[in-house]
Amino acid sequence: MKILDHIIRWIRSRYAQSSARGATTYHSKSGSNQTHASNSNGVAPDSGHRERHGFTFRQVGLGDTISDSVESWDRYGPIMEGSTIELRAVTASGRIVEAKKLQIICSVCGKAEDCEIRSDISHRPLCRTCQCEFIMPNGSKVTASHAEYQQLLNNYNTWEAYDHKRKDSEL
């Protein structure tokens, strides 16, 4: 819990630094651009427009419709203010990626993942967290879901595995 609080404080401090450091550009009617720090003197130009840019993080699942960014414009007196919010997707394994890099929806948990992993048994799509790797008696690796992994364990032939180990040790 302390780690999560620390991460939240760090993100908030970075956001506060970037908004204090970041400049808002006002485009006036005459075509010249005036750049003011966010809270330099509190006086905005008489006309023009200003733009803001932000990010939002979202877990994406089955049936969700997503876009790369959302743009909106509002008028405040003579000033047009534009806001652009870019979407960053949080994958099932916790990675943060651009929405266009998502490739599959996990058939077990229903969350999106940025790499394609399929079960070697049922060929269903899996995320990194729902993926299990089972090592067969001959040494080959099989990718499976948790339920398939449990079935493989229940049907595992320990005598066959012993025979393979014994043959390998004799060579």
pLDDT in tens, 79-109: 888 888 888 888 888 888 888 888 888 999 9
pLDDT digits (tens, 9 = 90+) for 52-80: 888 888 887 777 777 778 888 888 888 88
Contacts of 138 (CB under 8 A, 6+ apart): 164
Residue 69 neighbours by CB distance under 10 Å: 13
Structure tokens at 36: 């003011």
Domain ranges for the chain: 49-170
Digit-coded pLDDT (tens) for 126-162: 999 999 999 887 788 999 999 999 998 888 777 776 6
Is the pTM here over 0.85, yes or no? no
Backbone dihedral angles phi then psi of residue 168, each to the nearest 5 degrees: -65, -35
Would the pLDDT of 19 be above 60? no
Mean pLDDT in residue range 107-134: 92
